[in-house]
Amino acid sequence: MSLIKPHGSDALNPLFVYDTAENEALQKKAEGLASIVVSSATAANAVMLGGGYFNPLTGYMNKADALSVAKSMKTASGLFWPVPVLNLVKDAGGVKAGDRIALKDPNIDGHPILAVMDVEAVEEFSDAEMAMMSQEIYRPRAEEAHPGVEAFNSQGKICISGPIKVLNFSYFQSEFPDTFRTAVEIRNEIAERGWSKVVAFQTRNPMHLAHEELCHMAMKRLGCDGLVIHMLLGKLKPGDIPAPVRDAAIRKMVELYFPKNSAMVTGYGFDMLYAGPKEAVLHAVFRQNMGATHFIVGRDHAGVGDHYGAFDAQTIFDNEVPAGALKIEIFKADHTAYSKKLDKVVMMCEAPDHVKEDFVLLSGTKVREMLGKGIAPPKEFSRPEVAEILIKYYQSLEK
């Protein structure tokens, strides 16, 4: 049984140095190199390159590739790619083309060396080019601040490009040893489990009953023998539930409500871009790289505020992703909710005879209020065992 091919190559090319002796030798050499402490976004890109998620890229993009990707979702050489993968800095110091430099981790005390980079170019984007990329990648509504655009523009305008060798996976491996997995590891586990059709579910939140049922629904309709719940472990926005709490809640749900050997709980080290449609396409690329054949894209996938239409992250696959550019297939989902009429969770678009009052709908604010007071949401909204974990977390905030 052969797994789906990775994007852009026959075999996965992770940039992590797996050979222990070579890794140690490079670490030693790197200590004597000129170094820069990179941005959190650049560090997250290194982790994704290291784990094979960004296959077939070999490092950070240069200016020509970045501008081309932002405009047309293709590198200058024609590789399909949805968003630029950059090492942006405010000041490159004396770094120049031909240098070998050490990239230091901004997210760990003491800034350990994350990767070694062979610099091919040091270039600067103009204000107009930064504005164009911000607009094309994030597609923000002009009248509303966008956290992704702010994070992108806060890194600097100087772009250091070239191939990298990754020496560690930042804090993800030590802080989330049971959950953080590289694309290589997930591919291997899919093969070990003997799955042939695999659907991936992206989450940055705990999963309530509607999410759980959506996964069951996708597996059934697609005829999948495996589900990979793949949670974001990187930087989120204030107020989001921390990864360890999400992790515990999701594991409890899988343990109790999924058949044995049908679901894997994993996570990846990346900062949320909140780039809506373009980020949904990026999510599809790295799900293909980790071996999934299908990927669930829901309403307002990877969105923030009111920047995107409810189904923009789905229509981009029909309107802007060229035919054959990706091998992974998209499972398009609407909001799912518990129908009081039918006594089960349904996709809302598949219940045309329903009015709003026929569904059990609770806002995130309302759910947080209830959990903070120690009240479990109704069983039609959340599994009691999941609610219990979340109640403990919210009550700990009150103390």
The catalytic residue positions are 204-205
Q: At what angle do helices 384-398 and 243-257 cross, to 10 degrees?
A: 160
Using DSSP bridges, classify how beta strands 158-166 and 121-124 pair: parallel, antiparallel or unpaired.
antiparallel
CB 354 within 8 A of CB 339: yes
Q: How far is the C-alpha of 39 from the C-alpha of 242, rounded, in Å?
A: 21
Measured in degrees and rounded to the nearest 5, phi and psi for residue 385 equal -70, -30
CB 296 within 8 A of CB 283: no
Q: State yes or no: cis peptide before 277, omega within 30 of 0.
A: no
From residue 39, how far is each of 50, 74, 88, 218, 389 by CA, in Å? Answer: 16, 24, 7, 37, 33
